Amino acid sequence: MSPEPSAVEGRIVASGLTKVFGEVKAVDDLSFTVEPGSVTGFLGPNGAGKTTTLRMILGLATPTSGTGTISGVAYAHLPVPGRTVGAVLEATSFHPGRSARNHLRVFCAAAGLPDKRADEVLEWVGLTQAARYAVHGFSLGMRQRLALATALLGNPRVLLLDEPANGLDPEGIAWLRGLLRHFADVDGRTVLISSHVLSEVEQTVDRVVIIARGRFIYEGKLADLEGASGGVVVRTPTPDQFATAVASLNARITPRADGSLAVVGATPEAVGRAAWEAHVELHELRAGSSSLEETFLRLTAEPAAPPGPTP
Ligand SMILES: Nc1ncnc2c1ncn2[C@@H]1O[C@H](COP(=O)(O)OP(=O)(O)O)[C@@H](O)[C@H]1O
Ligand SMILES: [Mg+2]
């Protein structure tokens, strides 16, 4: 018998996750999968429910209903959680008077790791020079690096980072990108990073899970989102014939609000030729103008107010 699909080593599965705080449904029946060997962006506007979801997956908050698993089991049931999962949550606090190195050594002691591990991870995150200094003098970017160092102590195969790009300068973001890509591409680890700004992680992630108002919006390859590869906008009176005509291009066709079609994964030249060869009538054919960020904003926008009575 093959193992449960959720039991794949390093796979994160959210299944019907729901969290209610009083009147607020912070997370609403959320299901998604995060695969090892990829960097997945967990995206949504502020208040969408990202941190609450991560806290449930990490066993720090109890779901109202649903489950979150890592390698097929709840966090609390992982044999050695600290060695399996490293996490950085928002607003991580440090003892202000403690040096970066001593901060890490406290964790080393708790996790049964040798002290020299603290220096190794400090080097990874570029804090070797600052290791002896008290954390209260650290910039937000340096705190992010120290939090990441803490998460890396146990050499985890799953890394969960909540808004890690906050406070990092462009150089810091580029550095983080290299580190996370290495984890996923070379080591085959699972990396999930949340952000409320798609452009911040656009060049780092290959997959995205998008949520808004606690609900699922989109899961898939970033490259399949309209705007990622430019895309093509088409208007035709015969959409079914059009779909058949371009089938061999393996492009993704989605209807747009104005009745036109968005074709993602093909050039305007290829789409135009395929339509012409199949004698499909087109009323419009142009390169898509929406950027990835525009698509993200459109997908996560507040629903329009219901139309009022017509005068
Ligand atoms: N401990 C809590 N008590 C009450 N409401 C909360 C609590 N944590 C989060 N919320 C609410 O849940 C919603 C989702 O918050 P959060 O998960 O922090 O979103 P995000 O991380 O995407 O910005 C927000 O409306 C927030 O105010
Ligand atoms: Mg958050």
Q: Which of 21, 23, 160 to mutate to test the pocket of ligand 1 (most atoms within 8 A of CB)?
A: 21
pLDDT-derived band at 299 (thresholds 50, 70, 90) equals confident
By three-state DSSP, how is residue 224 classified? helix
By three-state DSSP, how is residue 52 classified? helix
The residue ranges of DSSP E strands in 8-155, in sequence order, are 12-21, 24-34, 39-43, 65-70, 85-88
**Measured from the CA of 90, which atom of ligand 1 is nearest?**
21
**Measured from the CA of 61, which atom of ligand 1 is nearest?**
1
Give residue-wise pLDDT tens across range 165-198.
887 888 888 889 999 999 999 999 999 999 998 8
Domain boundaries, the chain: 8-223, 231-287
Same fold, 8-223 and 231-287: no
- CATH number for the domain formed by residue range(s) 231-287: 3.30.70
Chain-centre distance of CA 288, in angstroms? Answer: 24
Q: Which of 46, 52, 162, 217 to mutate to test the pocket of ligand 1 (most atoms within 8 A of CB)?
A: 52
Q: Which residue has a Cα nearest atom 8 of ligand 1?
A: 52
Judge if the beta carbon of residue 80 lies within 6 A of ligand 1. Answer: no
pLDDT-derived band at 289 (thresholds 50, 70, 90) equals low
pLDDT-derived band at 140 (thresholds 50, 70, 90) equals confident
State the pTM of this model.
Answer: 0.80
Judge if the beta carbon of residue 52 lies within 6 A of ligand 1. Answer: yes
Domain 8-223: give its CATH architecture: 3-Layer(aba) Sandwich (3.40)
